[in-house]
């Protein structure tokens, strides 16, 4: 039970990460589920729901369909909806029931593609992981299915991992001499994202974009960098901590080190961490682990929910994260790139 959560909320789930990553790209997103995943997503995890339309559907899986493995109904419903809504592509995602039943989503994708003439792909979710896993799988599946080789744009750059779950208020400034080719995937479009292979560099701004960046490096020869090249900034062990998603936290730690000379260590609390942490950082995937890691803290930067398990003696700096606390502190979420908006030395 060491990874149980008694006080903290869990992060947004992988199904919501899938939907957030592909929300603006004109596809029909279908979650094979009775109904719960969609209501959680649209009421808690999506800032665009009431101002920007998207084709996100639930299959309405019932007990009989689940027990008998009635895939025909699922397939027929998708085909009819596609005929009516005219999406640009179709993406399927899993939930616990069909995951446990072993539903053949890859086979279903092939059938749907044959019957609709639209590109259809499966994103491996099961509602048992956090949003970083779902968004990462969505970006990777999209890239493998939809991207084609293309001539390069001199100085072209892609931004990877910019969903509202991590960057709801962040404005990315394109470096001088660079041209934005595509933004994955906030305030964007399918036509823009399909140009991604024309870029000469991928900028990874959260862990959700890392898998797609690695794929594009191997497939299209596009190198990638982490935002701010934060791993190049030497940080030492300290009793100051930034808690949260590793790329955002690493960037903030590096920015503080460069501006103030103060060392902060990252406590990564989302799932994807490989290759994203410095030697002085750590990953903690449970409330008890996080509490223990913070026990000697002098200064803590993180979502206000983490203050509930932080030592009273520590100075706590609020850095709300939509994927953790949702709309509770929505108005406080800063532009991550503007350090002065959320951190000042005492």
| Dihedral pair phi/psi, residue 243, rounded to 5° | -110, 130
Q: How far apart are CA 332 and CA 292, in angstroms?
A: 27
Beta strands 240-244 and 179-184: pairing type?
Answer: unpaired
| For the chain, percent of residues with pLDDT exceeding 90 | 84
Lateral strand order in the sheet of 55-58: 55-58, 28-31, 90-93, 120-123
Whether 82 has a pLDDT exceeding 90, the answer reads: yes
The CATH superfamily assigned to 14-146 is: Nitrogenase molybdenum iron protein domain (3.40.50.1980)
The alpha carbon of residue 252 and the mean position of all alpha carbons in its chain are separated, in whole angstroms, by 18
Q: What angle do CA 16, 328, 39 make, to 5 degrees?
A: 35
The residue ranges of DSSP E strands in the chain, in sequence order, are 28-31, 55-58, 90-93, 120-123, 156-160, 179-184, 201-204, 224-226, 240-244, 265-268, 282-283, 299-302, 315-318
Per-residue pLDDT reduced to its tens digit, 200-225: 999 999 999 999 999 999 999 999 99
Q: Which fold has domain 232-341?
A: Rossmann fold (3.40.50)
Among 178, 336, 145, which Cα is nearest to 250's? Answer: 336
Q: 14-146 and 156-228: same fold? A: yes
- Would you list the domain boundaries of the chain? 14-146, 156-228, 232-341
Please give the pLDDT value at position 127.
87
Lateral strand order in the sheet of 224-226: 179-184, 156-160, 201-204, 224-226
| For the chain, percent of residues with pLDDT exceeding 70 | 98
Of 18-22, 133-137, 175-179, 186-190, the range with the lowest mean pLDDT is 175-179
CATH of domain 156-228: 3.40.50.1980
Tell me if 301 sits within 8 A of 288, measured CB to CB: no
Please give the pLDDT value at position 175.
86
User: What's the mean pLDDT when you consider all of the chain?
Assistant: 94
Q: How far apart are CA 208 and CA 210, in angstroms?
A: 6
Per-residue pLDDT reduced to its tens digit, 271-303: 999 999 999 999 998 899 999 999 999 999 999
3-state DSSP call for residue 241?
A: strand
């Amino acid at each position: 039970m060491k990874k149980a959560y008694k006080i903290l909320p869990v992060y947004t789930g992988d199904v919501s990460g899938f939907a957030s990553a592909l929300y603006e790209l004109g596809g029909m997103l279908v979650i094979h589920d009775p109904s719960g995943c969609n209501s959680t997503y649209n009421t808690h995890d999506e800032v665009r729901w009431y101002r920007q339309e998207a084709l996100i559907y639930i299959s309405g899986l019932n007990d009989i369909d689940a027990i008998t493995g009635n895939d025909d109904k699922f397939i027929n419903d998708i085909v009819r909806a596609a005929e009516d809504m005219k999406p640009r592509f179709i993406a399927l995602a899993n939930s616990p029931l069909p995951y446990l039943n072993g539903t053949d989503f890859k086979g279903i994708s092939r059938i749907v593609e044959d019957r609709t003439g639209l590109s259809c792909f499966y994103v491996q979710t099961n509602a048992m992981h956090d949003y970083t896993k779902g968004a990462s799988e969505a970006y990777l599946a999209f890239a493998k299915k939809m991207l084609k080789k293309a001539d390069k744009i001199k100085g072209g750059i892609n931004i990877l991992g910019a969903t509202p779950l991590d960057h709801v208020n962040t404005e990315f400034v394109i470096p001088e001499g660079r041209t934005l080719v595509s933004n994955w995937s906030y305030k964007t479009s399918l036509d823009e994202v399909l140009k991604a292979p024309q870029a000469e560099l991928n900028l990874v701004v959260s862990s959700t974009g890392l898998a797609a960046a690695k794929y594009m490096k191997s497939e299209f020869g596009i190198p990638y960098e982490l935002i701010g090249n934060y791993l190049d900034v030497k940080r030492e062990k300290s009793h100051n901590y930034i808690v949260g998603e590793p790329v955002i936290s690493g960037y903030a730690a590096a920015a503080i080190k460069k501006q103030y000379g103060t060392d902060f260590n990252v406590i990564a609390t989302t799932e994807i961490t490989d290759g994203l942490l410095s030697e002085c950082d750590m990953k903690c995937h449970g409330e008890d682990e996080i509490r223990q890691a913070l026990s000697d803290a002098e200064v803590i930067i993180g979502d206000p929910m983490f203050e509930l398990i932080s030592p009273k003696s520590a100075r706590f700096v609020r850095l709300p994260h939509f994927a953790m606390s949702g709309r509770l502190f929505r108005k406080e979420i800063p532009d991550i790139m503007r350090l002065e908006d959320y951190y000042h030395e005492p």
